[in-house]
Structure 1
Amino acid sequence: MTEPDKPHEQGDDPTTGEPELGAREAEAKGRTDIVVFGVTALITVFLVTWGVASTDTLSTAATAALSWLVTNIGWGYVLAATGFVIFALWLAFSRYGAIPLGADDEGPEFRTISWIAMMFSAGMGIGLMFFGVAEPLSHFVEPPPRSAPPLSDDAVETAMATSLFHWTLHPWSIYAVVGLAIAYGSFRRGRKQLISAAFTPLLGAKRAEGPLGRLIDILALFATLFGSAASLGLGTLQIQSGMQAAGWIGSVGTTVLVLIIVVLTICFIVSAVSGVARGIQWLSNINMVLAALLAFFLFVVGPTVFILDLVPLAIGDYVRDFGEMVSRSGATGGAAMNDWLSSWTIFYWAWWISWTPFVGMFIARISRGRTIRQFVGGVILVPSVVSIVWFAILGGSAINAQAGGANIFGSGGEEAQTFAMLETLPISTITTVLVMILVAIFFVSGADAASVVMGTLSQRGSIDPNRAVVVFWGAATGGVAAIMLIVGGEDALSGIQNLTFIASVPFAVVMILLCVSLVKDLRDDPMTRREELGAQVLEQAVISGTELHGGDFQLEISAAEDTEEEPGEESGRGEGGSEGSRG
């Protein structure tokens, strides 16, 4: 990551460059919003206490709630996620695509190469490490209901298409919607970097800062907490499996999982409050290099030709099956399809939505000066390309090994399958340790930023939240992650899926309304108004010229003080005197 070419502070007024009053006050005082912080903290403490005191009842309640939600509103998630894809692409190709995320004459804050590099960084994480092998392999051995026979050539196509469906356009369109709303409101309109501030055009400034705005920020904070906890839970499971694969530990119980959570939580809390941003940036860059080296190693020593064949195959199958994948529902697959959707598609949509406040703020912060078209293109395309390559290499290696007789799928849960695949290749001990390091650093570098974002949401948009608040949310993330794993029991992943989905439901509604608010904001943008006014003036000029002179007239632009209108002539203000058009 490079230093910005043009340093700006969030909340700057786009015309003066000075922070708006509300942003200055929030940044200077760092005052905690008692309502936002207090309500979310109480709910979190209640859930953690419930999980500790009566794990079985919380597990039963979460399972029952998930079942009801998937059956009754799962269709809404499927439609909403696809709607966000359509909405983001429509914005990019519409007349709003040229609107900059900043002042009219403002260039990009970061150079394109640096911006793309940071997009690549955001596109990687624990999710890709955890599911890079597990997802394609799972869909190959146990394809989605009503799709393809297990372990067949058709299952290979279905496995890769479904993996890309979950990791390319849909998740990054979800992130783009929130990131775009925050970036536009902050850099173009001079508002605070809060989710509630993006609702100003829909609610009005007073209501956006009132009870309704606080409710929106509470939902954003709650979603971020559970999204971060889900990532911590996945990272914990994978590190535990890596330690088993390396022979460092034997059988694993709840105690070991909780200890891993405690260690990771302490690491990212220390990182978040230490102010060593450059150190974490350095670690993140090192992690990108290590991830690239791992992928290159697997590509070279693994089934190279098979991997190369998978890339165009996966893209083609994804495009071909897109309509079928977005329309999967219990209406055609019954209970089996509902179970599959809750474990995969709906869980992913819920997880992505729960991460949008954090990822949205991140990509918004690095995108000042980009146009909406550039923003949408970069946010969606760059991480999608990374995902295609990643799944082709890791997933392709696992599928090839499974088809060749290695029982990777039967080696354990999703968290163990990556290490089982590595054991079929050279120097597996080294690559196993490398994967554990990658998972740990990915989580620490991401979770420390998520803790700061939760602090920002708790303290009225302050970019430097109080350390005590950051520590609290870091500890809360660890507590919720532990409860997720304990609630899941032997199938620890189910507890993560259940609680993540339930926590994200309210924020999904917030995101739908956010789209409405953003369109209302863009319709009132100065650039949009100028275009509309110019079109009206030109249309009226053509109508008047046609009425007075038939088809023989001309439109002229000249300086206002030099303009002497002849009967039947239309003139306007411009930068010089030149003939505009002739009919």
Structure 2
Amino acid sequence: MPSRENEPGIPSSHSSSTATTDASATAEENLYPHDMHPGLMPGLSVEDQRNIFRLDKVVFALTALLMLAFISWGVIAPNSVGEVSSSMFKWAIRDLGWLLNLVMILGLSVMAYLACSRFGNIKLGKDDEEPEFSRFAWIAMMFGAGIGVGIFFFGPSEPLSYYLTPPPHTVAAQTPAAIHHAMAQSHFHWGMSIWGLYAMIGGALAYSTYRRGRVSLVSSLFRPLFGQHHTEGAAGKVIDMMAIIATLFGTAATLGLSAIQISQGIEIVSGAGKVSNTILMVIITVLTLCFITSAVSGVGRGIRYLSNLNISLTLGLIVFVFITGPTLFLLNLIPAGILTYLDSLVDMASRGLSWGEDTVQFQAIWTSFYWAWWIAWTPFVGMFIARISRGRTIREFAVATTLAPTFILILAFTVFGGTSIIFSQLGISGFDGNASSEHVLFALFNQLPLSSITPFILIFVLAVFFITSADSASMVMGTLSERGNPAPSKLTVVFWGLCMMGIAVVMLLVGGETALTGLQNLTILVALPFSVVLIGVAVAFLRDLATDPAAIRLKYANKAMQNAVIKGLEEHGDDFELVVTPAEQGRGAGADFDSTAEKVTEWYRRTDEHGNEIDYDYESGEWADGEAPDAQQKRDDQRS
């Protein structure tokens, strides 16, 4: 076979120019960490790093002192807390309500962009990593993370409230248009806006942890902006403290709602009079003891089984209402509500101070509280969906995380809310707008078959939501307190759980007779500063993706193809083919890209347990100090 060495564009393997090129390439390779070009990195998981997890004394101590001081203040002088929070709330909702709207729009916009962008094929893990869970199990767990007591507390009552008293400047009350706008407004509060935000921080955490090899902390997401020094220093500690505080208040609000609703169920089942705040405290205390038992006794697997049972019961209750309620009406309302939601989405997102004082008041009661609640939940839900989404592409993650749970929640609110609206039209007591949210739930099931049984099921579901939410959120706060430890100590977990209960009690005390007021005011006030953190997360995530190995390869591929076609046309007209050879100076695929820059190589420089740089052999999987490839796994097993 004739040699191709002398063909145009194919250099001789024995030529001096090739030797020079090889020497140059060798010198260039030494500029890369571990002789690995950043475009060839397959990804780096946190398990591949030699981390030592321990309590971050600064983060834990300062946050704990702040929370204990707040709880003490709230218990000793709840009126004082109420006055201060109410005053701050009025200022915040008027002057900073736009910030909450901006963040919710940002989350959905970022995920929509990523789903359609060149970053969509990047994996939340190594290049060859496959998802751990099936798509069905993954979506089911996602729904379980985001669902909570709110689906029962607000599901039947929120659409009914909008039907009887529509948002300002929308439609006339108690009309067909009011029914559809009521569903659209509820879907707006519980739909894509929430899940776009959850997806943004969850995707950023999954990418950072399982593709960039960083510890699972909110502060780790800011490494592209602050650099390693500041991320692990004071700035990073402040961010992690803010994440813990947001999780504490966001979950405490959920626990407070659970206690309020459970008390209503007990009132109905026992036939006793109105439950006081004292009884609410007793309920929280009993459920707290259940949480502590689960946290310290190692029955986490049992709690997970209980949680799965809880999700099944929740979906079962939705189906039960759908079948035994106004089924034909609901079948028509589901598509009508979805289309009205999509049609009104931009209009609802635009509401704010410029619409007038009545709109500001509506936002304070509904939209701003929801946005604050979801923002406060982002570290908790984001960390959970990050763990279960490993191995998914960003495109699949963005689409599924944003749309699948949204659709399920839309069905739930349509079934519960639509049934409540029908009962209101029939003039049934409890659906006239004077009843509380917790009362509407039990009134709804009281009008359906098996009304002697369903209150007990509802109380059980609400109690398990309380315990599992406290358990999961405490684990997340333990991780944030122990430098990203995926298995934090039980003592740390229990401490944060007790703080959550204490804050829930303070929220209820501050609200007084209208307990929901305290939950809303304090949740909004805590979420506002964390909104700034989420804006930073969006910027850092996009900057991280710009230097991803897959993004670098795509950049090189596009440039190489463009250069090759131009050169082929210039030198050979129609008769040319593409081969890989060294390029002339200035014409290479990476000619305008500095592949040795710190911003694209720093992230995969390996370090030992003490943070000192150490070499690593990617072929053998061995460290320069001789540590075996499975040593990290052995350390993890010893810790657990």
Q: TM-score, normalised by structure 1?
A: 0.90
Of the three residues 437, 447, 450, the one matched with 2:470 is 447
- Unaligned runs of 5+ residues in structure 1 are 1-12, 573-583
TM-superposition CA deviations, 1:358-417 (whole Å, max 9, x none): 100100000110000111112111111111110111111101001110132445321211
- How many angstroms apart in 1 are the aligned matches of 2:44 and 2:421? 57
Counterpart in 2 of 1:172?
195
Counterpart in 2 of 1:367?
389
- How many angstroms apart in 2 are the aligned matches of 1:356 and 1:138? 27
- How many angstroms apart in 2 are the aligned matches of 1:300 and 1:377? 30
The answer (yes or no) to whether the contact 2:164–2:433 under 8 Å persists in 1 is no
Q: CA deviation at 1:351?
A: 0.4
Q: Name the CA shift for 1:20/1:215 in 2 (closer, same or farther; >3 Å).
A: farther
Q: CA deviation at 1:207?
A: 1.0
Counterpart in 2 of 1:25?
52
Counterpart in 1 of 2:357?
335
The answer (yes or no) to whether the contact 1:555–1:571 under 8 Å persists in 2 is no
Counterpart in 1 of 2:619?
none
Residues 416-425 or 68-77, more deviating: 416-425
Q: How does 1:155-170 map to 2 (within 5 A)?
A: 155-170=178-193
Q: How does 1:175-254 map to 2 (within 5 A)?
A: 175-254=198-277
- How many angstroms apart in 2 are the aligned matches of 1:288 and 1:357? 21
Q: Identity rate of aligned residues, in percent?
A: 43
Q: Is 1:292 aligned to residue 320 of structure 2?
A: no
Q: Is 1:399 aligned to residue 409 of structure 2?
A: no
Counterpart in 2 of 1:353?
375
Counterpart in 2 of 1:73?
96
Of the three residues 39, 63, 67, the one matched with 1:44 is 67
- How many angstroms apart in 1 are the aligned matches of 2:171 and 2:290? 44
Paired AA for residue 324 in structure 2 = V
- How many angstroms apart in 1 are the aligned matches of 2:310 and 2:453? 16
SS at match of 2:104: helix
TM-superposition CA deviations, 1:104-159 (whole Å, max 9, x none): 11111212222122123224221112111111111111111111222221111111
The answer (yes or no) to whether the contact 1:411–1:417 under 8 Å persists in 2 is no
Paired AA for residue 397 in structure 2 = F
The answer (yes or no) to whether the contact 1:419–1:432 under 8 Å persists in 2 is yes
Paired AA for residue 33 in structure 1 = D
Q: Is 1:387 aligned to residue 409 of structure 2?
A: yes
Counterpart in 2 of 1:543?
566
Q: Name the CA shift for 1:18/1:246 in 2 (closer, same or farther; >3 Å).
A: closer
Q: Name the CA shift for 1:152/1:460 in 2 (closer, same or farther; >3 Å).
A: same
Q: Name the CA shift for 1:17/1:154 in 2 (closer, same or farther; >3 Å).
A: closer
Q: Is 1:554 aligned to residue 576 of structure 2?
A: yes
The answer (yes or no) to whether the contact 2:389–2:397 under 8 Å persists in 1 is yes
Q: Name the CA shift for 1:374/1:273 in 2 (closer, same or farther; >3 Å).
A: farther
Q: CA deviation at 1:200?
A: 0.9
- Unaligned runs of 5+ residues in structure 2 are 1-40, 590-640
The answer (yes or no) to whether the contact 2:160–2:433 under 8 Å persists in 1 is no
Q: Name the CA shift for 1:129/1:233 in 2 (closer, same or farther; >3 Å).
A: same
SS at match of 2:120: helix
Counterpart in 2 of 1:501?
524
Paired AA for residue 485 in structure 1 = L
Of the three residues 491, 516, 520, the one matched with 1:468 is 491
Q: TM-score, normalised by structure 2?
A: 0.83
Q: Name the CA shift for 1:15/1:68 in 2 (closer, same or farther; >3 Å).
A: closer
SS at match of 1:25: coil
Q: Name the CA shift for 1:15/1:295 in 2 (closer, same or farther; >3 Å).
A: closer
Of the three residues 268, 274, 293, the one matched with 1:270 is 293
Q: CA deviation at 1:175?
A: 0.5
Q: CA deviation at 1:301?
A: 1.4
Q: CA deviation at 1:554?
A: 1.8
Counterpart in 2 of 1:152?
175
Counterpart in 2 of 1:58?
81
- How many angstroms apart in 1 are the aligned matches of 2:454 and 2:47? 48
Paired AA for residue 403 in structure 1 = Q
Q: CA deviation at 1:307?
A: 0.9
- How many angstroms apart in 1 are the aligned matches of 2:385 and 2:145? 8
Q: CA deviation at 1:15?
A: 5.1
Q: How does 1:407-418 map to 2 (within 5 A)?
A: 407=429, 408-410=431-433, 412-418=435-441
- How many angstroms apart in 2 are the aligned matches of 1:412 and 1:262? 27
Q: Name the CA shift for 1:491/1:409 in 2 (closer, same or farther; >3 Å).
A: farther
Over the residues paired in the alignment, what is the CA RMSD in angstroms?
2.0
The answer (yes or no) to whether the contact 2:372–2:523 under 8 Å persists in 1 is yes
The answer (yes or no) to whether the contact 1:107–1:370 under 8 Å persists in 2 is yes
- How many angstroms apart in 1 are the aligned matches of 2:453 and 2:96? 45
Q: Name the CA shift for 1:78/1:487 in 2 (closer, same or farther; >3 Å).
A: same
Paired AA for residue 262 in structure 1 = T
Paired AA for residue 536 in structure 2 = L
Greater radius of gyration (CA):
2
- How many angstroms apart in 1 are the aligned matches of 2:233 and 2:577? 51
Paired AA for residue 577 in structure 2 = L
The answer (yes or no) to whether the contact 1:409–1:417 under 8 Å persists in 2 is no
Residues 140-149 or 401-410, more deviating: 401-410
Q: What count of residue pairs does the alignment treat as equivalent?
A: 547
- How many angstroms apart in 1 are the aligned matches of 2:267 and 2:541? 49
Q: Is 1:280 aligned to residue 280 of structure 2?
A: no
TM-superposition CA deviations, 1:231-272 (whole Å, max 9, x none): 000000100111112234322211101111111222222223
Q: Name the CA shift for 1:77/1:17 in 2 (closer, same or farther; >3 Å).
A: closer
Counterpart in 2 of 1:378?
400
